Amino acid sequence: MTKASTTVIAKRMNLDSSAPHLYPASTYTEGKDDWGLQADMLEGASRSSGKLLWKDGQGAECGVWDCTPGRWRLALPADELCHFVTGNATYTSDTGEIINVSAGTVVHFKKGWIGECHVHDTIRNVYMLVT
């Protein structure tokens, strides 16, 4: 990586700040980490990537998460607030509730939420998990 490209990334992402940040959250791609395939796949091969902005070591964290199409089981160990900025998906709880998400949707999944996620078009959300 050149010094010029490092400078551009530094201006768009600062994880050492008193308020870690990256910009713009909806299109940011530099320095994303590959988080691998989704666990508990039911259909397809969803792959996750993103950037962790902060983690407290006790289960709380925030960041930006991308996921490619597919369908899998999901059980949330903590409250999670998600602001979807691209793509679309359907979350279906084990009680049958259907939550459709697309750019602009904000969802608070409560600790213990269990169901399935079906990503139709690659999604990106800005999230915060709170224990």
Q: What is the CATH number of the domain that holds 58?
A: 2.60.120.10
Domain assignment of residue 45, yes or no: yes
Q: What is the maximal distance between C-alpha atoms in the chain?
A: 52
More confident site: 69 or 10 = 69
User: In this structure, are residues 124 and 65 in contact, taking their beta carbons and an 8 Å threshold?
Assistant: yes
Q: Using CA atoms, how far apart are residues 125 and 26, in angstroms rounded to an integer? A: 8
Q: Which domain holds residue 125?
A: 31-130
Residue 40 backbone dihedrals phi, psi, to 5 degrees: 60, 40
Q: Using CA atoms, how far apart are residues 33 and 47, in angstroms rounded to an integer? A: 11
In the prediction, which pLDDT does 49 show?
A: 97
Tokens of 71: 């369908």
Q: Using one digit for the tens of pLDDT, what is the confidence trace for 61-77?
A: 999 999 999 999 999 99
Domain assignment of residue 3, yes or no: no
Number of domains in the chain: 1
Q: Using one digit for the tens of pLDDT, what is the confidence trace for 71-114?
A: 999 999 999 999 999 999 999 999 999 999 999 999 999 999 99
pLDDT band at 4 (very low <50, low <70, confident <90, very high): very low
- Low-confidence winner among 2-6, 15-19, 43-47, 111-115 (lowest mean pLDDT): 2-6
Handedness of CA 24, 26, 30, 31 (dihedral sign): positive
- DSSP element (H, E) containing 4: helix 3-12
Domain assignment of residue 40, yes or no: yes
User: In this structure, are residues 50 and 13 in contact, taking their beta carbons and an 8 Å threshold?
Assistant: no
Is the predicted pLDDT of residue 2 greater than 60, yes or no?
no
Rounded to an integer, the average pLDDT of 33-44 is 96
Domain assignment of residue 1, yes or no: no
The rounded percent of the chain whose pLDDT value lies above 70 is: 92
The count of other CB atoms within 10 Å of the CB of residue 44 is 15
Range ranked top by mean pLDDT from 21-25, 58-62, 85-89: 85-89
